[in-house]
Amino acid sequence: MIIERIEDEMQAQLTAIGLRSENGLLAMHLSEIGDEAKNILELLTVLRAHAWREDEDAGQETLTELTISLEHLTGHVQHAIPILQEQLDIQ
């Protein structure tokens, strides 16, 4: 339910700035990009703490989580960019 509400809010924001409202896929990707970006920033903060404590195992575990988050972010970015380019008529 919360995810649907966030996507609905993103769709409303896109509509408010003049993008076609029928493109719910873009709203979903942008919502996921925002969520993943927050997660990545948190993981980078955790990584710094592990590095400061010289905790190699925890640092490497955090890097693994960071890698997965970056892959997830990349997937959504790769899908969102062509939609944005088409709707904004940019290359």
* DSSP codes of every residue in the chain: -HHHHHHHHHHHHHHHTT--TT-HHHHHHHHHHHHHHHHHHHHHHHHHHHHHTT-HHHHHHHHHHHHHHHHHHHHHHHHHHHHHHHHHT--
The answer to whether the CB of 46 falls within 8 A of the CB of 59 is no
Give residue limits of the domains in the chain: 2-88
Q: What is the pTM of this model?
A: 0.84
The CA dihedral of 70, 26, 17, 4, to the nearest 10 degrees, is -90
pLDDT tens digits along 41-86: 999 999 999 999 999 999 999 999 999 999 999 999 999 999 999 8
Query: In the prediction, which pLDDT does 5 show?
Result: 64
Angle in degrees, 0-180, between the axes of helices 56-88 and 24-52, rounded to the nearest 10: 160
